[in-house]
Amino acid sequence: MGLMWLSEEEHMMIGQLRDELVSLSKQRRGVLQEVVLTGEVIDLKKRIVELEIQEGKIKEDHAKEDRELRHMIGLEKERQ
């Protein structure tokens, strides 16, 4: 290890601290990945809402055009 002047107990403590550091580093990477994925989920949910709003507007426009067309057909039939 290169730290000959340390006692066996101190070497063991250093080893345990290294193991804990590795474990904490892995946990941190996991948390960071979770944060990134959570951000992606939020963005996707926002996009879903935007698309649902867009879909509603398109359906509303289509229904309006359909009503106008039916009205025009009705007027034409009355005229004949």
**Do 1 and 11 meet the contact criterion of CB atoms below 8 Å apart?**
yes
Residue 68 has, within 13 A of its CA and on its CB side, a CA count of 6
Mean pLDDT within 33-46: 97
pLDDT at 2: 63
**Eight-state DSSP code of residue 7:** -
Asked whether residue 5 carries a pLDDT value surpassing 90, the answer given is no
pTM of the predicted structure, to 2 decimals: 0.60
* In the chain, domain spans: 40-79
Q: What pLDDT, on the 0 to 100 scale, is given for residue 22?
A: 96
